[in-house]
Structure 1
Amino acid sequence: MTDQDANSPSLHAFSTWEPLLRLLRERFTPEPGGAAEYASGRIARGGWSLPSRTRGRRPTEAIDAEVAALEPVHGALAAAGVEDVTFTAKLAASGPVTVRVMGQSPAVESGLGAQPGALLLVEGAVPEPWRRLPEPPGPDAGPAPSADPALLERTLRERIPASAVGATDAEIAETEERLGIALPEELKALYRVTRGRWQDWGEDAEAAEAAYTALRCELFPLTEVYVADTASRPTLWRFGAMEAVVTTPEDAVQGLVGSPGWIVFADNGGGDRIAVDLTPGPRGHVGQIVMLSHEYDIGAELIADSLTDLILGRESEPSGGGPAPDGPAAVAHVNRRSLPSVAAAAHPDLEVLSIGVWDAAPLSLAPVLDLPRLRTLTAYPGTLADPLEIAELKGLEYLELAPEDWRTLLDAGAVPRSLSAAGITTRGAQSPTSTVTLANEILALWGRPPIVQVVLEGELE
């Protein structure tokens, strides 16, 4: 947090929150003499989430009122150098009003609404799929028979206007040095014809369009070519921990988050990246062309056996590794619409077990206690028969439980020390105050920075 400007509103001054508290009291209109109302929300520099009595689209005047009421808080965030805060306000029809302001912690990810996100118990830790490296190509792996750098270059020179500016050998060498990897010959052949800088076309829009048509993609300049390793596809723990890397013997593409052998050189025009794959799956070819969807954090899709095939329009049938399918294998969901029991989820390859909404008796974890690869467990409130069974799961790196289940583990000193991150799942409109207190208790076990809470009280005239 930076020093507060003398002329700026203070984030921890009651006056900064007065306009918002007045708006919320009008919105919730507590009954005189009745119980106080509680309202929680999140306020960020670029937006906000406030409670409302109505559902659906809010009228313009309601949004305008929120903008005006939030102006002092937004100003205080900017002055303090803070990205966002959450709050809980206790609103009475008369008398003092209390607001609890909860700041950021470097050990807590952003959550939904006012609730905290995943607790980062180990500095710098990432979910297991983000640590997974590709299997090296087999001894028989090699380029597709269709890979033909000479044909590729010849075809592009025929299709792309002669005014195209190609990359020099020095520019290609600079790119290889920056990436720490040699560019495959097909990719070099492409860039020798055009280096991907649209400025090179000047005012000749027709020539630029011809190049785009010939390339069948939006080519990146050499300076923007990058390696799609796992760091290039960041995610939140609560999402990443639910994924699993799965590659079958029939896959042409390894089902990875990222690979040091995925060289991204283009876009499909819709936000999906196109890459040369130098670490193919068991049925793939070195140098095949894959597409990384912007809708997924994991996996890639084979679109051509070679860059030559892509340019010549000989695209492959979609194939490749991706998110693990639901079912009793790497990722399993037990709930009233999916798997009917924990026993049905038990499998030697099980890595992720998610227990969701459940109408029957609470479940025992006994069928999965000895599984060697189980690393993620999430359980909806009221679904576990005995939360202390969790202490027997020695390989957990992510655990997401209801507050009452966390309380059981904490009181028994049974929180698994193997955890790298944790989540607290709540049901209904639960106040974040108790959740934050619980989160800080869990963070303290690992000596991590707590979520700072400041309580402000004042009168609304």
Structure 2
Amino acid sequence: MVDRDIPAHSLNDFATWAPVLRLLRDNHADGQAARTGRVAGSIGRDGWSLPLRGRMPESGRAAAERVRSALEDAGVEEISFSAEMSPSGKSVLRLRAPSPAVESGIGTPHPGALLLVEGAVPQPWRCLPDPAPGAVPAPSADPELLERTLRERLPDAIGATQAEIAAAEARLGVTLPEELKAIYRVTRSRWEDWGDDQEAAIRHCTAVGCELFGLDDLYIADAESRPSPWEFAAMIAVDTPPDAAVQGLVGSPGWIAFGDNGGGDRLAVDLTPGPAGHLGQVVMLSHEEYIGASLVADSLTDLVTDRLSRRSRRSGGDRPSPVAYVNIRRLPSIEAAAHPGLEVLSIGVWDDPPLSLAPVVGLPRLRTLSAYPGTLADPLEITGLTALEFLELGPDDWRVLLDAGAVPRTLSAAAVLVRGDSDPQPIVALANEILALWNRPPIIQTVLRGEL
């Protein structure tokens, strides 16, 4: 790791952090801090992750707010820290500011995914939709009926002009479907048209069946619009069964997001349907998921007339999954996970002897391996996984690969899987060793010293 002492700034002033350290020390007077003299956490402008037992006391909120204010003054979004505190009160605090080569740890003071190749994204984010040259609109699609129905429901609505619709098409780079144009010819869905009339806004939502975006807010729900940390994104796979109505993509250049269901889930017109879908069907992108969309209605006409699709989500039959979980509750062995289409292998908590990777060596599409600490019989078997782009291992397994010069050079990102409340310092050092192999910027630590 790289340590440095830098000129004083409120964020880099020990006094700014002292109340947080006292809070953690006192909160764990009979626990970790008392035994090891070590605490760790992270604080950001939007919240904090501190290892507290019970509710945050008011004094603790004041302490955290003091740091958050310093973050804002310094123009920093989030910072992780670790501290070593002696019984006498002498303390060493290490601050780790955001790095362009490291994602933030998720609910942990340890580093997140290491970005080894600048700009690289996981394979699902590179997937484009399969062509659907034979796709046609659903029989229910009826722009004239749709427009007539909405005019009856919203007789006083202000519609968009043809020029405004054309401007939206030019901005998006796509021709809007006739049903979507029909909706906007009735209502342009601008808040200023309703003034302070909340009832008018509710009437529009009820009439259309969603919170309709204005033309200026339409967007293409492609993969880039649905970002995800590598540690999550690398663990999923694009999979579209032959009987699916919707392609199992992260995003598509043919998904035109036009509304919200009121709970943060986006509705889109689908111009790249699955094998059993219809051109212009309505799909929903969940805000709780990074991939896939669910079929809502076979057409916008069906959505507005409340004829929602009753078709069940397709299972794909008995096809083996491209994502396999081997652990005490799921698959019982590596052999059970292995097949030519396997893309992601996750080895979790395991009570039996460590596992050999031999059954998956040489699989052409295996791009992600995540192995819980202590589950691999021989980490060097990883050298036989020639298509890896993401690797997540415990510190000891990484040490084996580093010492043998066997870290796969095909990787685009990596992560150190930490168990429990391990000291962040050796994890940061290990992360910097991995980053150095790709000449990526190291994790820089600011060291502050003081007394509590």
- Shorter-normalised TM range: over 0.9
Q: Number of aligned pairs?
A: 443
Give, in angstroms, the shift of residue 431 of structure 1: 0.8
CA pair 329-210 structure 1, distance change in 2 beyond 3 A: closer
User: Counterpart in 2 of 1:128?
Assistant: 123
1:168-196 Cα offsets, whole Å, 9 max, x none, are 00000000000000001111111111111
User: Counterpart in 1 of 2:139?
Assistant: 145
User: Counterpart in 2 of 1:74?
Assistant: 68
SS across alignment from 1:11: helix
User: Counterpart in 2 of 1:3?
Assistant: none
Distance in 1 (CA, whole Å) between partners of 2:218 and 2:89 is 62
Whether the 8 Å contact between 1:25 and 1:92 is mirrored in structure 2 is: no
Q: Does 1:314 align with 2:307?
A: yes
User: Counterpart in 2 of 1:108?
Assistant: 102
CA pair 170-281 structure 1, distance change in 2 beyond 3 A: same
Distance in 2 (CA, whole Å) between partners of 1:96 and 1:325 is 63
CA pair 113-326 structure 1, distance change in 2 beyond 3 A: farther
User: Counterpart in 2 of 1:22?
Assistant: 22
CA pair 95-292 structure 1, distance change in 2 beyond 3 A: closer
Q: Does 1:385 align with 2:380?
A: no
Distance in 1 (CA, whole Å) between partners of 2:194 and 2:19 is 54
User: Counterpart in 1 of 2:444?
Assistant: 452
Distance in 2 (CA, whole Å) between partners of 1:46 and 1:293 is 23
Distance in 2 (CA, whole Å) between partners of 1:94 and 1:206 is 64
Give, in angstroms, the shift of residue 75 of structure 1: 3.7
User: Counterpart in 1 of 2:394?
Assistant: 402
Distance in 2 (CA, whole Å) between partners of 1:363 and 1:26 is 42
TM-score, structure 1 normalization: 0.91
1:374-405 Cα offsets, whole Å, 9 max, x none, are 00000000000000011111111110000000
User: Counterpart in 1 of 2:271?
Assistant: 278
Letter of the 1:316 counterpart: S
SS across alignment from 2:11: coil
Q: 2:88 aligns with which of 94, 102, 105?
A: 94
Q: Does 1:329 align with 2:321?
A: yes
Give, in angstroms, the shift of residue 326 of structure 1: 12
Distance in 2 (CA, whole Å) between partners of 1:337 and 1:327 is 21
Distance in 1 (CA, whole Å) between partners of 2:122 and 2:184 is 36
Q: 1:433 aligns with which of 417, 420, 425?
A: 425
Whether the 8 Å contact between 2:37 and 2:85 is mirrored in structure 1 is: yes
SS across alignment from 2:10: coil
Gaps of 5+ in 1: 1-5
User: Counterpart in 2 of 1:42?
Assistant: 42
Whether the 8 Å contact between 1:328 and 1:344 is mirrored in structure 2 is: no
Distance in 2 (CA, whole Å) between partners of 1:36 and 1:331 is 39
Distance in 2 (CA, whole Å) between partners of 1:441 and 1:400 is 15
User: Counterpart in 1 of 2:149?
Assistant: 155
Whether the 8 Å contact between 1:254 and 1:299 is mirrored in structure 2 is: yes
Percent of counterpart pairs with the same letter?
63
Distance in 2 (CA, whole Å) between partners of 1:84 and 1:321 is 41
CA pair 318-39 structure 1, distance change in 2 beyond 3 A: farther
Give, in angstroms, the shift of residue 72 of structure 1: 4.5
Distance in 1 (CA, whole Å) between partners of 2:297 and 2:205 is 18
SS across alignment from 2:12: coil
Gaps of 5+ in 2: 1-6
Whether the 8 Å contact between 2:243 and 2:314 is mirrored in structure 1 is: no
Q: Does 1:373 align with 2:373?
A: no
Distance in 1 (CA, whole Å) between partners of 2:294 and 2:334 is 32
Q: Which of the pair has the greater relative contact order for Cα pairs under 8 Å at 6+ separation?
A: 2
User: Counterpart in 2 of 1:422?
Assistant: 414
Give, in angstroms, the shift of residue 96 of structure 1: 2.7
Give, in angstroms, the shift of residue 153 of structure 1: 1.2
CA pair 325-362 structure 1, distance change in 2 beyond 3 A: farther
Give, in angstroms, the shift of residue 48 of structure 1: 2.0
CA pair 371-209 structure 1, distance change in 2 beyond 3 A: same
